[in-house]
Amino acid sequence: MTDFNVSCPIPISDYPTVMLAHGGGGRLMHSLITKMFTSAFENYLLSEQHDGAVFPVRAGRMAFTTDSYVVHPWSFPGGDIGTLAINGTVNDLAMCGARPLYLSAGFILEEGLPMETLWQIVQSMRTTAIQANIQIVTGDTKVVDRGKGDGIYINTAGVGVIEHELRIAPSTVAIGDAMIVNGDLGRHGMAIMMAREGLSFESEIESDCAPLNADVLRLIDAGIDIHCLRDLTRGGLASALVEIAQTAQLHLQINESAIPVREDVRGACEILGLDPMYVANEGRMIVFVPQEQAARTVALLGDSARVIGQVQNHQSRGQVTLRSLIGATRIVDMISGEQLPRIC
Amino acid sequence: MTDFNVSCPIPISDYPTVMLAHGGGGRLMHSLITKMFTSAFENYLLSEQHDGAVFPVRAGRMAFTTDSYVVHPWSFPGGDIGTLAINGTVNDLAMCGARPLYLSAGFILEEGLPMETLWQIVQSMRTTAIQANIQIVTGDTKVVDRGKGDGIYINTAGVGVIEHELRIAPSTVAIGDAMIVNGDLGRHGMAIMMAREGLSFESEIESDCAPLNADVLRLIDAGIDIHCLRDLTRGGLASALVEIAQTAQLHLQINESAIPVREDVRGACEILGLDPMYVANEGRMIVFVPQEQAARTVALLGDSARVIGQVQNHQSRGQVTLRSLIGATRIVDMISGEQLPRIC
């Protein structure tokens, strides 16, 4: 990759904000794409400037996924909408057990978005894509009139290759499996909440936003028989577990005392009346593995990983139960909507 | 495919409009996805309800592309945003010479969107996907607060396989190549314009929105050595040609008299001061083929196809020129923005 110029490549004096014409298919759009997107995301496939990217594949299995990002505000401690747009889709591919290869990027810009804001987001995408070892190879830019958007929405879709024989899916989960989270919960949602409401506590809560592909591939390379993976985004740990329990028709039991939540996050949740089990994360996942591989899995995932429960041989299938700190057991349900809108 | 129930699967009496909670990761979102999207787009991969779709591939080349759709109004004569969201991305894959396989669908819904509207759009997507012979295998739903969107925006990304050895790209275009359009120009843009402004002429102008994959594959199967393909969307024929001329560094000459434009479209353009060469189409493409294959290509594309010009051996490379009806020659340029915003 050649040297990268960090000043905004569109002259701000001429175009301080995004205009409708930047999405119009003419010279201005062409200039935005070539000067900003193609140069920041520099790679051979993108530079072809065709209607799509063409690449060679080997025989095997591939994964394909998409997410749109509408987070508000667009910037928060620990990341921004650009960081999210890369990590979120990379993580969806990782949850399929795939090695992420290529991303598409679709921008829906609101007329009047400061050009410097767009440039900052594009730079975040560039940096995060390099960290996650993925290339942005095709894209699209639309501009909507003022008042018909919220600055910027981004969609990314991703393709990846599956280089193993595991079948990672809820239907593979088995009685006795250990459930492991790779770190403390609730930080992304609380970071957004604090940024949105202008709240501050003694310490700043930073989003946990991070790519998970390296962690997943490390487990696979080490021979861990992963049964299921799910990232703990909208709806948090609770919603992910309920979905898996219902799809697999198994009973999942977790221990409240084992669920890692940082003290400042727990405190902020208490003040705002939120339950960390339902708060969104962007760098956290639940991993289902055979019980006998649990300790090795935790060791491979690092110091912050914890076994939080086990798949039970229990009559009430399709349910999740929580053993509380005082030993009582209660059913964990999906909430109807969510605690916080526009978290990702 | 099983029988398909055409009444809205979400009870309108309970949920007359989309609510923020429909994007919240909880029960309401789960219900929207399973009852509306998964049932309408029914296929094996989607029903797995994983973070992504996993499918087998053979060794070879693949194409990957994306487009967001923000068309206003969402419905127009000849189609709606759902029709566009399928055909637009299918056509981008077709322009790479690929056989479209799978689509992703990312919905950005505005709080308050009538549930019936969403259902009508989802049905259009279903019908169009069947026509285009493509499956929607993965998706995402976000809901933004009232006033932060415009009813509905859709992103689709697509993957396809390339089952031939042709290299379809501007760099393959050669001096002497014939340029062929597959039908009359300007209908999509004018259909949107009339719908937006509430105008009506004697006859209704219907969008040309259509999938192009079958046409492209027919040419390839017949052994036509396609050099380049480009669909004539935003910016119309003129912008597509200028882009190709600049990328290929060749001189393209077209004949005004050969460019097919329907009389009612020409009349509407004249009244509104628009040039049909710059108006968007959604089922039209320009095909570059060796001169000696031009007649066969036209025959394979059908009655509406026309040879509109030829790649010239001319000093001024990277330019497009138009020979007018009276024999004068002028340079065709990209317009700065576009004639009509939010056309797709």
β-pair partners for A140:
A106
pLDDT tens profile A26-45: 889 999 999 999 989 988 88
DSSP B94-110: HHTT-EEEEEEEEEEEE
Q: What is the pLDDT of residue A2?
A: 45
Question: In percent, how much of chain B has pLDDT > 90?
Answer: 84
Query: Is B343 within the bounds of a domain?
Result: no
pLDDT tens profile A242-254: 999 999 999 999 9
Q: How far away is chain B from the Cα of A23, in angstroms, using its nearest Cα?
A: 7
CB contact under 8 A, A19 and B337: yes
Query: Is A221 within the bounds of a domain?
Result: yes
What ipTM was reported for this prediction?
0.95
Which residues fall within 8 angstroms of residue A271, CB to CB, at 6 or more apart? none
Query: Domain range holding B285?
Result: 170-332
Q: Does residue B182 surpass a pLDDT of 90?
A: yes
Cα B118 to chain centroid, rounded: 20
Q: What is the pLDDT of residue B46?
A: 83
Say yes or no: A175 and A321 in one domain.
yes
What DSSP element (H or E) covers A75? strand A75-76
Q: Which residue of B has its CA nearest to A18?
A: B337
Quick one: pLDDT band at residue B279, thresholds 50, 70, 90? Answer: very high
Q: What is the pLDDT of residue B103?
A: 98
Query: Is A6 within the bounds of a domain?
Result: no
Report which residue type is found at A299: A
Q: What is the pLDDT of residue A316?
A: 86
What DSSP element (H or E) covers B115? helix B115-132
Question: Is the model more confident about B176 or about A193?
Answer: B176
CB contact under 8 A, B66 and A106: yes
- Residue ranges of alpha helices (H) inside A79-159 are 81-95, 115-132
Question: Is the model more confident about B319 or about B336?
Answer: B319
CATH number of the domain to which A80 belongs: 3.30.1330.10
Dist CA A328 CA A303 (whole Å): 28
User: What string of H, E and C letters represents the secondary structure of A257-286?
Assistant: HHCCCCHHHHHHHHHHCCCHHHCCCCCCEE
Find chain A residues with C-beta within 8 A of B234's C-beta.
23-25, 29
Q: Give the β-pairing of B79-80 and B75-76.
A: antiparallel
Say if residue B73 is preceded by a cis peptide, omega within 30 of 0: yes
Short-list A295, A154, A304, A163, CA closest to A224: A295
Say yes or no: B274 and B202 in one domain.
yes
- Number of domains chain A contains: 2
Question: In percent, how much of chain A has pLDDT > 70?
Answer: 97
Query: Is B188 within the bounds of a domain?
Result: yes
CB contact under 8 A, B148 and A143: no
CB contact under 8 A, A27 and B54: no
Dist CA A50 CA B96 (whole Å): 8
Query: Is B342 within the bounds of a domain?
Result: no
Q: What is the pLDDT of residue B4?
A: 62
Say yes or no: B180 and B259 in one domain.
yes
What DSSP element (H or E) covers B187? helix B187-197
Q: Does residue B96 surpass a pLDDT of 50?
A: yes
Say yes or no: A177 and A281 in one domain.
yes
Q: Which of B56, B102, B148 sits opposite A149 (nearest CB)?
A: B148
Short-list A184, A180, A183, CA closest to A262: A184
Q: What is the pLDDT of residue B198?
A: 79
CA atoms within 13 A on the CB side of A17: 14
Dist CA B48 CA B38 (whole Å): 10
CATH number of the domain to which A215 belongs: 3.90.650.10
Residue at which a domain ends, from A114, A140, A162: A162
Q: Which of B57, B158, B236 sits opposite A62 (nearest CB)?
A: B57
Dist CA A310 CA A252 (whole Å): 6
Burial level of A161, CB count in 10 A (0-12/13-18/19+)? middle
Q: Which of B27, B63, B64 sits opposite A334 (nearest CB)?
A: B27
Residue whose token pair is 């018909």: A148
Say yes or no: A193 and A218 in one domain.
yes
Say yes or no: B195 and B135 in one domain.
no
Classify A215 as helix, strand or coil: helix
Dist CA B151 CA A23 (whole Å): 19
Say yes or no: A181 and A326 in one domain.
yes
Find chain A residues with C-beta within 8 A of B20's C-beta.
337, 341
- Contact criterion met (CB below 8 Å) for B79 and B207: yes
Dist CA B188 CA B79 (whole Å): 9
- Contact criterion met (CB below 8 Å) for B258 and B324: no
pLDDT tens profile A60-99: 999 999 999 999 999 999 999 999 999 999 999 999 999 9
Q: For an interface test with B, give the residue of A33, A140, A143, A168 to mutate (most B CBs within 10 A).
A: A140
The pLDDT mean for chain B works out to 94
Find chain B residues with C-beta within 8 A of A50's C-beta.
95-96, 169-170
What DSSP element (H or E) covers A241? helix A236-248
b/e burial code for range A31-62 (CB count within 10 A of at least 16 → b) = ebbeebbbbbbeeebbebbbbbbbbebeeebb
Say yes or no: A89 and A142 in one domain.
yes
Q: How far away is chain B from the Cα of A335, in angstroms, using its nearest Cα?
A: 5
β-pair partners for A152:
A109
Q: Give the β-pairing of B152-162 and A135-144.
A: unpaired
Rounded to 10 degrees, the C-alpha dihedral A114/A117/A121/A124 comes to 150
Quick one: pLDDT band at residue B3, thresholds 50, 70, 90? Answer: low
Say which range, A182-186, B254-258, B314-318, B335-339, has the weakest mean pLDDT: B335-339
Say yes or no: B214 and B279 in one domain.
yes
Dist CA A134 CA A119 (whole Å): 20
The pLDDT mean for chain A works out to 94
A-B Cβ pairs (cutoff 8 Å, strict): 283
Quick one: pLDDT band at residue A24, thresholds 50, 70, 90? Answer: confident
Q: What is the pLDDT of residue A338?
A: 65
Q: Does residue A104 surpass a pLDDT of 90?
A: yes
Find chain A residues with C-beta within 8 A of B30's C-beta.
243, 334
Q: What is the pLDDT of residue A77?
A: 95
- Contact criterion met (CB below 8 Å) for A98 and A64: no
Find chain B residues with C-beta within 8 A of A62's C-beta.
54-57, 159
Short-list A100, A69, A183, CA closest to B108: A69
Q: Does residue B261 surpass a pLDDT of 50?
A: yes
**A46 is written with which tokens?**
């993108």
In angstroms, how far apart are the furthest CA atoms of chain B? 68
Quick one: pLDDT band at residue B2, thresholds 50, 70, 90? Answer: very low
Q: How far is CA B12 from CA A97, A277, B116, B118, in A?
A: 39, 31, 8, 11
Residue whose token pair is 């929105």: B209
CB contact under 8 A, B234 and A29: yes
| pTM, to two decimals | 0.96
Query: Is B4 within the bounds of a domain?
Result: no
CB contact under 8 A, A92 and B56: no
Classify A297 as helix, strand or coil: helix
E strands, A177-222, in order: 178-181
